[in-house]
A and B are shown apart, each in its own frame.
Chain A
Amino acid sequence: MLDVRGLRKVYEGAGRRVEAVRDLTFTVGAGELVCLVGPSGCGKTTLLKCVAGLLAPTAGEILLGGRPVTGPPPGMAVVFQEYGRSLFPWMRVGENVELPLKQQRMPKARRRELVADALRSVGLTDAAGAYPWQLSGGMQQRVAIARALAYEPDVLLMDEPFAAVDAQTRADLEDLVRGLWRARGITVLFVTHDIDEAVYLGERVLVLSASPTVVREQLSIDLPSERDQLHTRVAPRFAELRTQVYAQVQAAKRGAAVPAADVRTPTPPAT
């Protein structure tokens, strides 16, 4: 579905040359939920913007459904971390969700249907007439998710979407995203710096190195697909996977290579 091949992004500033992403290659299969984790400042957002067609890569290519991405591709929606800035304060919630559909010249009846359905599936049926700034942070991010859903994307990109909400809201939103992903069969690429979140949500976790970024490690998350905050997070397998990812991210921060063999069999905590 989504093919990233040899992606490289170098920012050329006034006398400064920053290589944000060196050489990234990975694929996301149709209907897969893949999480990207990496140390902060590792170029996750750069990568996501390139994939979204908002930034032109310096080298390499991105293919969506076999076609190269040169600008924001149709069939792709992005949910940004900064929900407060991503939603338009001059539009009501319903209008925010509807705007992208209006641009597609979709008939009004169909638009209404999609907006109502999207708001219902994020649990905000009653909020259509409110302004975004009248809602709490978690609700605002739900609106942003509803806007993405109404757009009916094949691929949903999420850039640290829950980094700015409190822990309980975050848990709810994680379950919401997993539920929507399972219900709708959308391909999701979820960027986060939170290791637990990546393991809890993903079918696969890609660990990125520190900048200049490469993929350090790919892990399949073999947890049952039925997950819940209470039981999944205390499952022994969850702890193992979490430890593996954690070790990789720590090593990425130091820039050291962790032999794969060491990571696969984590040493049990000394008790």
Chain B
Amino acid sequence: MKDAHLDGAPPERARGGRPELTNAALGAAGLAGFLALCEAVPRLGIVSAEYFPPVSRIADALVGELGDGAFWTALGDTLTGWALGLAIAVTAGVLAGVVISVVPYLREATASTIEFLRPIPSVALIPLAVLLYGTELRSVLLLVVYASFWQVLLQTLYGVRDVDPVAEETARSYGLGTWARVRHVLWPTALPYVMTGVRLAAAVALILAVTAELVIGAPGLGARIAVAQTSQAVPEMYALVVVTGVLGLLINVGARTVERRALAWHQSVRGEVAV
């Protein structure tokens, strides 16, 4: 380390994009290695190819799925459940969070109830969902909303608590009323927390959407996985599992992008600024 500096090598940060490039290459190599391993292990007979087909066969099955209209319908169903549920949960979570924080005494009054309801695993509500709505979209929504609502609500509550008293006093001294302060001070302060809540909720919502379809049989990727399993179409089952994984990845990347755009002013995004 010391020698490198004596040689006049620039410090790591000044080297521009190179470390990132190296990381990307290492990541790709790791993934390729993993895929090669998954191909080799069943082919060498270490595990039974019947339950763990080689990657090439899963890829074949995936291509087959992509050519099947029913697959796209299932994907659409899953995404509908996910997006609708997430939208309801975010709206409700943010509204409830702001109201609970702004109305005096409401936070204290609701804290214990929230702490009781929040840890209930959403999947424990599956019987209830079936009783109420059968295999309709609504039972998926019930589970998705229940699971993701708490993520958003809690983050909103934390975010609102973070309002700077000086900013609040400034707003008051310039004659901003309650609604104007909610809009111009409280909301922007809470937004970074809300964004984190939305990102967590988006991931949880996908898990619950697939779970609901899988267990209840509501139409979607989950139900398709269950069908593939019962009809012994093992490579197709894996292909669908891969699709859900890719969905999760895309949702996370998308949420992070939205977060970075919306919070360009925030310390966590803007980084250090030379003054």
Residues of A within 8 A of B (CB): 49, 52-54, 72, 74, 76-78, 80, 82, 85-86, 88-90, 99-100, 103-104, 131, 133-136, 147, 151
Contact A88 B174 (CB under 8 A): no
Q: List 5 A-B contacts (CB under 8 A).
A: A85-B166, A88-B184, A89-B265, A103-B177, A136-B275
Known: A85-B164, A88-B167. A135 touches B275 (CB 8 A): yes
Q: Is the interface of B mostly helix, strand, loop or mixed?
A: helix
- Inside 8 A of A78's CB, which chain B residues have their CB? 169-170, 173
9 residue pairs, one from A and one from B, having the closest CB atoms: A100-B174, A85-B166, A90-B188, A78-B173, A86-B170, A90-B265, A72-B173, A85-B164, A82-B166
What separation, in Å, do the CA atoms of A78 and B188 have in the docked complex? 22
- Inside 8 A of A80's CB, which chain B residues have their CB? 166, 169-170
Closest to A89 in B: B265
Contact B175 A74 (CB under 8 A): yes
Known: A85-B164, A89-B265, A134-B275. A103 touches B175 (CB 8 A): yes
Known: A90-B265, A134-B275, A135-B275. A103 touches B174 (CB 8 A): yes
Q: Is the interface of A mostly helix, strand, loop or mixed?
A: loop
Closest to B270 in A: A133
Known: A89-B265, A99-B174. A54 touches B169 (CB 8 A): yes
- Inside 8 A of A77's CB, which chain B residues have their CB? 173-174
Q: Sort chain B's interface into a size bin.
A: 20 to 34
Contact with A along B145-174 (1 / 0, CB 8 A): 000000000000000000010110110111
Q: Does B21 contact A (CB under 8 A)?
A: no
What separation, in Å, do the CA atoms of A49 and B165 have in the docked complex? 12
- Inside 8 A of A104's CB, which chain B residues have their CB? 175
- Inside 8 A of A53's CB, which chain B residues have their CB? 173
Min distance, Cβ A26 to any Cβ of chain B, angstroms: 21
Closest to A84 in B: B166
- Inside 8 A of A90's CB, which chain B residues have their CB? 188, 191, 265-266
- Inside 8 A of B266's CB, which chain A residues have their CB? 89-90
Contact A131 B265 (CB under 8 A): yes
- Inside 8 A of A88's CB, which chain B residues have their CB? 167, 184-185, 188
Known: A52-B173, A100-B174. A86 touches B275 (CB 8 A): no
Known: A86-B166, A86-B167. A54 touches B172 (CB 8 A): yes
Min distance, Cβ A165 to any Cβ of chain B, angstroms: 12
What separation, in Å, do the CA atoms of A165 and B25 have in the docked complex? 47
- Inside 8 A of A133's CB, which chain B residues have their CB? 265, 270, 273
What separation, in Å, do the CA atoms of A77 and B173 have in the docked complex? 7
Closest to B262 in A: A90
Min distance, Cβ B166 to any Cβ of chain A, angstroms: 4
Q: Does B128 contact A (CB under 8 A)?
A: no
